[in-house]
Amino acid sequence: MAMTLTTAIPAANAEKPIYLDQNIPIEKRVEDALSRMTLEEKVALCHAQGKFSSKGVERLGIPEIWMSDGPHGVRAEINWNDWGYSGWTNDSITAFPALTALAATWNPQLSALYGKSVGEEARYRKKDVLLGPGVNIYRTPLNGRNFEYMGEDPYLAGEMAVPYIQELQKNGVAACVKHFALNNQEKWRGTVDVELSDRALYEIYLPAFKKAVQDGGAWSIMGAYNQIWGQHCCHNERLLNDILRGEWGFDGAVITDWGGAHDTKEAALNGLDIEMGSFTNGLTSESEFGYDDYYLADPYLEMIKKGEVPESTVDEKARNVLRLIFRTAMNTNKPFGSKCTPEHYAAAKAIGDESVILLKNNGILPLDGSKYNSILVVGDNAVRRLTDGGGSSELKPKDYISPLSALQALYGDKVKFAPGYACGRTLYEAEDTIPQEEQDRLRAEAVAMAKDADIVIYVGGLNKNSWQDCESTDRREYELPFGQNELIKELIKVNPNIIIANISGNAYEMPWVNDVPAILHASYLGTMGGASIADVIAGNVNPSGKLPYSIPVKLRDCGANSFGEISYPGIESGDTDVVAIPGSVIEGGKNPKQKYMEDILVGYRWHDTKKIPALFPFGHGLSYTEFEYGKPVVSESVIGENGKIMIEVPVTNTGAKEGSEIVELYISDLKSSLPRPVKELKGFGKVRLAPGETKSVKFEITPEDLKFFDDKKHEWVVEPGKFKAHVAASSTDIRHTIPFEYK
């Protein structure tokens, strides 16, 4: 029987279609490809074909898109149609520090190195879209996903996100900036309906996204799970149509978070381009439905054919998806990539080194090993592999250096270890309960060993289990879990020479803060993390990290947690218009309502304005040397509409050790028609200095830095009047104040 080919094979000398020619402007290529596609092919671009893949157009030679979880490294391969790992032996990677660690470096150059390095690994793994970076704002220390974000300040988050995005995308891998927007908690994340002022939205929660789009040039955006104004973020008319595309001019693709779509018509009309993971919880649950049943699959096709939504909607979606494909999967000029190279390990180590924050030190650090015969390390995080768990950020590192192994490499057999407490592996609400008898035994063992030790290094904190730093659940309490506070207090009683070196992506209560001589604060540092922590303890690395979020004394000192349940986590209503997914860990709650009662006063803005001191303020971080801030040189005392003020601050290392200092610039508006925070971060610079060396840090103030959002006018405004610029070592450590005027 003869076979008839239905697709003609072009002659060898046939003219290449426009959409295949990379020398032609991308918009012409998009329009050419679109003109050749059927309605069914356009719709097929708009939804998943597997757990982490969406379709191309096979007939036209347009490839599919492959996505991967990030942003701290390329996740191990997931099965095509379920959440199980594929069991490959060649998908191990470099685990880079968490983004909260990157933010703690306050170093945009390291952010660029981070994006370049993780982009090379994604390219090597043949990924077209890396699902990150995350730029949601740290609103409450109970949010289980804070470790994936870049702190409480929108300026810092934006400045650190842009270089990451730019360097990542040079590899032909799209950044997918997430989660747009207000995904500031995991409890009820799929249903909670957030109400907030436009001022809070525009001044606090949107600026980092805007900067990622306009300055970073992000090629894709991931919608959030939650609702705003009664409409889910993944097809929110105001968020996607009015703001993202209308006000910011975004030309990339909007991708749902996995399971974030809920309605075909809203998705058709309100700016969503690619639907992923529907009818699952995005983590563990499976669906009885096929990909053709997705909201933007056959139901969408039928609505178009019936005239219930215009075909122009799918044309616009197809344009955005084609643009993404041409920039990534179909880009023949992209590099080959690499992974687990010495360069990537060096990058991970450099980021980790600069991220470790010295909160307190009475001189016990750096630790001179020659002075001690016995060093006891206590704490589960000294040995736990902290790339495991955490939800979609879980990684499969080729290598992992633990703090204990790194300390043993530095101090040899002087180092002994006692776990002190136990915590089983708990994921997605399946919890291992450790018998109290076992906890008591481990505590007693550690205390007994501490009596005989010259010094104790405590490496505890949080981990990536559920109800800690983990996607799908928020923390249950502000204190450290597993009885760690009681353990630390008992260790102090028998040995006051204790160094706290906790690992956490969040702030936590420190009732023992006045009783310990030194406190280090580290986030999840990945492959090289143990080496970074050990080198800071030993003084091989001079700590230079500073807090990207405030550490309140107690939970109710945080603005979001000071107004009761209406502000966090929200109050359940009797309304059940949002249907929960059976077996889901993210959809619980009967459409809870939430109001951001603290409004624009997030983090240090709250502590400053309400005069509630933080235990450790935003921007705080010590060094093993000392820095002196000289008198600033100021170019002008008055700024006009098109003017600027230049400030140059000399900084001198007055100590005996080379180190880096982060100089911060805050601005205060002394009189405003609308309430404003006491001050806001508007600049920072990091400078490395040898002993006795002086360098200048330069700042530029423009009218843009003085603006606030007037929600009645729906515009950014700056009012004539008096201002102050504060040159600072932290949000509370003001070194110089410079008055100026805007006319």
Q: How many CB atoms lie within 10 A of CB 111?
A: 26
- Contacts with 700 (C-beta within 8 Å, 6 or more apart), sequence order: 644, 645, 646, 647, 683
Query: Both tokens of residue 55?
Result: 């379709």
Work out the average pLDDT over 441-445.
98
Is the distance from CB of 352 to CB of 526 less than 8 angstroms?
Answer: yes
* CA 236/CA 253 separation, integer angstroms: 15
Burial class from Cβ neighbours inside 10 Å (0-12, 13-18, 19+) for residue 494 reads middle
| Residues assigned a catalytic role | 257
Q: What is the pLDDT of residue 577?
A: 43
Residue appearing with tokens 């997918």? 176
Is the distance from CB of 98 to CB of 147 less than 8 angstroms?
Answer: yes
Q: What is the pLDDT of residue 429?
A: 60
Class of the 623-742 domain? mainly beta
Q: What is the pLDDT of residue 6?
A: 40
pLDDT exceeds 60 at position 358 = yes
pLDDT 10s digits, 382-401: 999 999 999 999 999 999 99
Q: What is the pLDDT of residue 575?
A: 53
Kindly state which CATH superfamily the domain 35-327 is placed in: Glycoside hydrolase, family 3, N-terminal domain (3.20.20.300)
Q: What is the pLDDT of residue 15?
A: 79
pLDDT bin (cut points 50, 70, 90) of residue 591 is: confident
pTM above 0.85, yes or no: yes
Q: What is the pLDDT of residue 490?
A: 98
pLDDT 10s digits, 170-216: 999 999 999 999 999 999 999 999 999 999 999 999 999 999 999 99
pLDDT 10s digits, 103-135: 999 999 999 999 999 999 999 999 999 999 999
pLDDT exceeds 70 at position 14 = no
Apex CA 216: angle with CA 215 and CA 218, to 5°?
Answer: 125
Q: What is the pLDDT of residue 582?
A: 35
Mean residue pLDDT of the chain comes to 94
Give the chain's end-to-end CA distance (angstroms, integer). 86
* Buried residues in 197-212 as b, exposed as e (16+ CB within 10 A): eebbbbbbbbbbbbbb
Q: What is the pLDDT of residue 581?
A: 39
Work out the average pLDDT over 140-146.
98
Q: What is the signed CA dihedral for 189, 195, 200, 201, rounded to 10 degrees?
A: 70
pLDDT exceeds 80 at position 5 = no
Q: What is the pLDDT of residue 428?
A: 61
Is the distance from CB of 314 to CB of 496 less than 8 angstroms?
Answer: no
Q: What is the pLDDT of residue 284?
A: 80
pLDDT exceeds 70 at position 13 = no
| Domain map (residue ranges) of the chain | 35-327, 356-538, 623-742
Of 2-6, 253-257, 453-457, 596-600, minimum mean pLDDT range? 2-6
pLDDT bin (cut points 50, 70, 90) of residue 433 is: confident
pLDDT exceeds 50 at position 9 = no
- Contacts with 596 (C-beta within 8 Å, 6 or more apart), sequence order: 139, 194, 195, 196, 197, 200, 560, 567
User: Which has the closest alpha carbon to 464: 152, 186, 151, 276?
Assistant: 186
Q: Give CA separation, 586 vs 95, 190, 583, in Å.
A: 26, 6, 9
Q: What is the pLDDT of residue 137?
A: 98
Q: What is the DSSP letter of 481?
A: S
* CA 338/CA 125 separation, integer angstroms: 8
Where in 196-290 does DSSP place strands (E)?
Answer: 220-223, 227-228, 231-232, 253-255
Classified by CATH at the fold level, domain 356-538 comes out as Rossmann fold (3.40.50)
* CA 496/CA 451 separation, integer angstroms: 10
pLDDT bin (cut points 50, 70, 90) of residue 521 is: very high
pLDDT exceeds 50 at position 502 = yes
